[in-house]
Amino acid sequence: MIGVRGSEMSALFGFAERQLYVYKRYWVWEVVWLFYSIVSVLSIGFLASGLSSLGAGGGSFDLRKAQLYLLIGALLWGYLSLVFMEAAYAIAWERWEGTIEYTFMAPVRRVTHLMGICLFAIVYGLGRTFIVLLVAIAIFDIDFSHADIAGALVVLAASMAPLIGLAILTSVLPLLSPQKGEQMSFAVQGFMLLVSGVYYPLTVLPWPLELAGYASPLTYALAGMRSSLLQGATAADQLPTVAILLGMGVVLIPLGFAVFTWAERRAKRLGLLKRSG
């Protein structure tokens, strides 16, 4: 007999393994998505290159710096949105396949279930973003000589906490509304892109959006990564950012689980887990 902890570990691994099987089976799709990620990051890079011919190169404007600023935004956004959607979509996808009742009926704690999905999404997202990064470095010969890689990695690691919380919160949507949940995840993702300062500083936003931006953990993740990669902020310099990110995680992860538990109870009360009786 395996103990409770052992069986939860087995389940955690099971969720990750399942995703791996799915990617293996859909590998053509994954290649297409990778291509899409590369193309979108490259187009942002070329957008920056093109700014000079649009007359933006003069005076104090540092084109290389602007390009790096935008590329970091594009790369990080690619990673964050991938993890976010991957996790948010997990429930929607199981509904669509019709397996949701079986997953919910398994003797697995919801924490294990959602963590399994999020952790796999993070590993996968990092892997894919790394490939895109290599392509971007090759094409734009990015200069990381001023960068403090350790500082950037610390921020990246800390950003996992609020990201998992947000992803769980969004994965609730398909449980609340079987029909519109998935589209709502896209709306949430789009809004995050708008307010989190991916391609511009928050100060250019009208104040209500700027305010929303300060509430978004992605803002701090992006700002922290930029200060390390562009200005060489060290891991020690990043302590305030790390504290904010972890603090947001401490609030968002339990909140995500609480909301998910509530939504699951509601779905079971109203019979929403499955559409057809």
Partner 1 sequence: MSSPAIEIRGVRKAFRRRERESGAPWWRRGWKDKVALHELDLTVEPGGVTGILGPNGSGKSTLIRILGTLLTPDAGTAKVFGCDVVTDALQVRRHVNRVSVEAAFFKELSPWENMVYASRLYGNTSRQTRRRVIEILDLLGLSKDVVDQPMKQLSRGQQQKVAIARSFLTAPSLLLMDEPTTGLDPRSKKEVQAVLDTLRAEREITVLLCTHDMDEAAALCDRVLMLDGGHVLADGTPDELCARHGAGTLEDVFMQMTGKTLEADEAEEVTL
Ligand X SMILES: Nc1ncnc2c1ncn2[C@@H]1O[C@H](COP(=O)(O)OP(=O)(O)OP(=O)(O)O)[C@@H](O)[C@H]1O
Q: In the complex, which residues of this chain contact ligand X (CB under 6 A)? A: 271, 277
Q: How far is the CB of 34 from partner 1 (least distance, A)?
A: 19
Count of C-beta atoms within a 10 Å radius of residue 3: 8
b/e burial code for range 25-56 (CB count within 10 A of at least 16 → b) = eeeeeeeeeeeebbeebbebbebbeebeeeee
Residues of the chain by 3-state class (helix, strand, coil), percent to 5:
80, 0, 20
Shortest spacing between CB 6 and partner 1, in angstroms: 7
Output the six-digit token pair for 116. Answer: 């399994």
CB of 259 to partner 1, least distance (A): 18
Least Cβ distance, residue 107 to partner 1 (angstroms) = 4
Task: Give the nearer residue to ligand X in terms of CB position, either 235 or 272.
Answer: 272
Which residues of the chain form contacts with partner 1 (CB under 8 A)? 2, 6-7, 10-11, 13-14, 17-18, 21-22, 25-26, 97-99, 101-109, 265, 268-271, 273, 277
Compute the least distance from the CB of residue 106 to ligand X, in Å. Answer: 20
- 138 or 270: CB nearest ligand X: 270
Up-side HSE of residue 31: CA atoms within 13 Å toward CB? Answer: 5
The 3-state DSSP class for residue 1 equals coil
CB of 175 to ligand X, least distance (A): 13
For residue 235, the partner it binds in ligand X, partner 1, none, with Cβ less than 5 to 8 A by kind, is none
- Measured from the CB atom, is 208 or 269 closer to partner 1? 269
Give the whole-angstrom CA distance, residue 155 versus residue 241: 7
**For ligand X, the closer CB: 181 or 224:** 181
The one of ligand X, partner 1, none whose footprint includes residue 108, by CB under 5 to 8 A per kind, is partner 1
Give me the residue whose beta carbon is nearest to ligand X: 271
Q: What is the DSSP letter of 203?
A: G
- Chain centroid to Cα 262, Å, comes to 24
Which residue, 59 or 277, is less far from partner 1 as judged by CB? Answer: 277
Pair 205, 195: CB distance under 8 Å: yes
Q: Which is nearer to ligand X, 206 or 277 (CB)?
A: 277
Answer positive or negative: Cα dihedral of 259, 260, 265, 269.
Answer: positive
Distance CA 41, CA 33 (A): 12
Report the partner that residue 269 touches, choosing among ligand X, partner 1, none (CB closer than 5 to 8 A by kind).
partner 1
Tell me the three state secondary structure of residue 3: coil
Partner touching 178 among partner 1, ligand X, none, CB below 5 to 8 Å by kind: none
